[in-house]
């Protein structure tokens, strides 16, 4: 039985550099050897883990990839979890997925070990686990590969299940569209529990035989030094990062700015995604660097589906056209397929890239698909002279902030645990830096005062930092309809 496609691709690039840092180089063969050893540790004498769920908690880098490949080669399903999540958020992902093992780097072990002990989970230190590689199971691409948690219209995130075949389809589509090659070099500073970092950067680069330079976070000074040194041919980021880079360039000394701009200008491709890129940011970046950012559209359930072209017009405010192998249609609220331009409708997607199910949620899965296999994204778009432009979401309870898709209901549930909050409504308000700013309108108990800094401090032990409200409005009443339901559109008027 042949190896999984992503492993076979790595074997073809065995002696090339997969990861490079100022101090070390890790070859593809080193990743393969390390992943085989970790797979053997995971198996612990079993012939095949048979899609057992294994959570992965580690920063971007060689250890992360070795662990990812190792658990896949052992026949397990990867459950990436957020490094900065709170313990209740970790516990939800671990228990909902039914994970039996957690793989973590040495720095994360002390943070998650109490939870693993309480839940009775096996904990493996990626950096310390060692031993010879043993026999590994024969696997097919139809096997489940990953459960990636994403917020939906329910109060808790849903586990999006993708197979190895789905991941292969997502990768080959992007490799073709963006013309990845083994000569490419890319920085990786995006979160590794998010499809942007996992698929678009890491898996695409390693499929192509390219080289990654990993950072534990967006280290702007260090990254800009590398940009000046022509270290990269590609660059992928969320709009928030481009806003920060623009601010840095605008205040830089002219000589320094010239060196940085030169580095950006010589890259062959720069991509923006995970949130809408304001046209003003697109245009300002082009004016500063000469680079026209390529904006694309995707989501956890489908990978990438629509993209501006590598060669051709990259239109500010638009996300482009369907990617290779992906079918796109717009459907009206009445159920009609929209064929003419300038008429908005819900984006629906079909193709080998589309996920199979929400883990343990058959009803939610069924509701998300039309009978003929089209996935309902919940996003509205319009087609204008061949290019799709995103208009917004059908659900008012989804917020896109800093590249994350957040559930307003999840945040509201946390806020209602605050001892002074009686009622609340969370919405996303337009923000040039974040795309949308998490904004909370609250009614306090007995009209008690509540300040934003105090609320943010309280939230940080209960919510990931990107879910913490950035704006606060304390009001006497929330707008409600005759049935008592909060009218989210009217909440905007409270800010």
Say if residue 2's pLDDT is above 70: no
Average pLDDT, the chain: 94
In this prediction, residue 276 carries a pLDDT of: 77
Is residue 405 scored above 80 in pLDDT? no
Rounded Cα distance between 434 and 422, Å, is: 28
Point out the least confidently predicted range of 228-242, 286-300, 481-495: 481-495
pLDDT tens string 463-490:
999 999 999 999 999 998 755 678 888 9
Sign of CA dihedral 464, 470, 473, 477: negative
Residue 289's pLDDT band (cuts 50, 70, 90)? very high
Residue 1: band (very low, low, confident or very high) from pLDDT cuts 50, 70, 90: very low
Domains defined for the chain, CATH in brackets: 5-139 (3.40.50.980), 398-494 (3.30.300.30)
Q: Is 331 exposed, middle or buried (0-12, 13-18, 19+ CB in 10 A)?
A: middle
Q: With b meaning 16 or more CB within 10 Å and e meaning fewer, what string describes 283-314?
A: ebbeebbebbbbbbbbbbbbbbbbbbeeeeeb
The predicted pLDDT at position 118 comes to 98
C-alpha atoms less than 13 angstroms from C-alpha of 340 in its C-beta half-sphere: 3
Distance CA 282, CA 239 (A): 9
| pLDDT tens digits, 361-378 | 999 999 999 989 999 999
The model's confidence at residue 155, banded by pLDDT at 50, 70 and 90, is low
Share of the chain above pLDDT 90, in %: 82
């Amino acid at each position: 039985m042949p190896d999984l496609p992503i492993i076979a691709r790595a074997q073809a690039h065995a002696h090339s550099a997969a990861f490079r840092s100022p101090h070390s180089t890790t070859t593809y063969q080193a990743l393969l050897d390390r992943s085989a050893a970790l797979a053997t540790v995971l198996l612990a004498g079993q012939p095949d883990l048979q899609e057992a769920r294994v959570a992965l908690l580690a920063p971007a880098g060689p250890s992360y990839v070795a662990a990812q490949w190792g658990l896949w080669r052992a026949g397990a399903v990867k459950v990436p979890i957020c490094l900065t999540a709170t313990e209740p958020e970790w516990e939800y992902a671990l228990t909902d997925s039914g994970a039996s093992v957690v793989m973590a780097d040495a720095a994360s072990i002390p943070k998650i070990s109490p939870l693993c002990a309480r839940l009775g989970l096996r904990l493996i230190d990626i950096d310390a686990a060692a031993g010879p590689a043993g026999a590994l199971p024969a696997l097919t691409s139809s096997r489940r590969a990953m459960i990636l948690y994403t917020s939906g219209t329910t109060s808790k995130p849903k586990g999006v299940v993708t197979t190895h075949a789905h991941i292969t389809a997502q990768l080959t589509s992007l490799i073709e569209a963006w013309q990845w090659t083994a000569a490419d070099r890319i920085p990786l500073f995006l979160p590794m529990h998010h499809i942007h970092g996992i698929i678009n950067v890491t898996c695409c680069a390693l499929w192509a035989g390219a080289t990654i330079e990993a950072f534990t976070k967006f280290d702007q000074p260090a990254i800009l030094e590398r940009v000046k040194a022509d270290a990269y041919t590609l660059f992928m980021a969320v709009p928030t990062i481009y806003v920060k880079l623009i601010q840095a360039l605008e205040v830089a000394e002219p000589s320094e700015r010239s060196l940085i701009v030169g580095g950006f200008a010589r890259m062959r491709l720069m991509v923006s995604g995970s949130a809408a890129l304001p046209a003003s940011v697109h245009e300002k970046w082009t004016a500063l660097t000469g680079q026209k950012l390529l904006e694309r559209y995707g989501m956890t359930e489908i990978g990438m589906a629509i993209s501006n072209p590598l060669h051709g017009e990259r239109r500010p405010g638009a996300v482009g056209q369907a990617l290779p192998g992906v079918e796109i249609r717009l459907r009206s609220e009445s159920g009609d397929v929209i064929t003419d331009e300038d008429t908005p409708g819900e984006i629906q997607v079909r193709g080998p890239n589309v996920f199979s199910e929400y883990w343990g949620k058959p009803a939610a899965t069924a509701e998300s698909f039309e009978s003929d296999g089209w996935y309902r994204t919940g996003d509205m778009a319009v087609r204008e002279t061949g290019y799709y432009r995103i208009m917004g979401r059908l659900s008012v309870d989804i917020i896109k902030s800093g590249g994350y898709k957040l559930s307003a209901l999840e945040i509201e549930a946390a806020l209602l645990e605050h001892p002074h909050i009686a009622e609340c409504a969370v919405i996303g308000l337009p923000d040039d830096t974040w795309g949308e700013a998490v904004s909370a309108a609250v009614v306090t108990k007995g009209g008690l005062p509540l300040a934003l800094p105090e609320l943010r401090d309280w939230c940080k032990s209960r919510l990931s930092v990107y879910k913490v409200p950035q704006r606060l409005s304390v009001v006497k009443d929330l707008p409600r309809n005759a049935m008592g339901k909060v009218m989210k559109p009217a909440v905007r008027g409270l800010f």
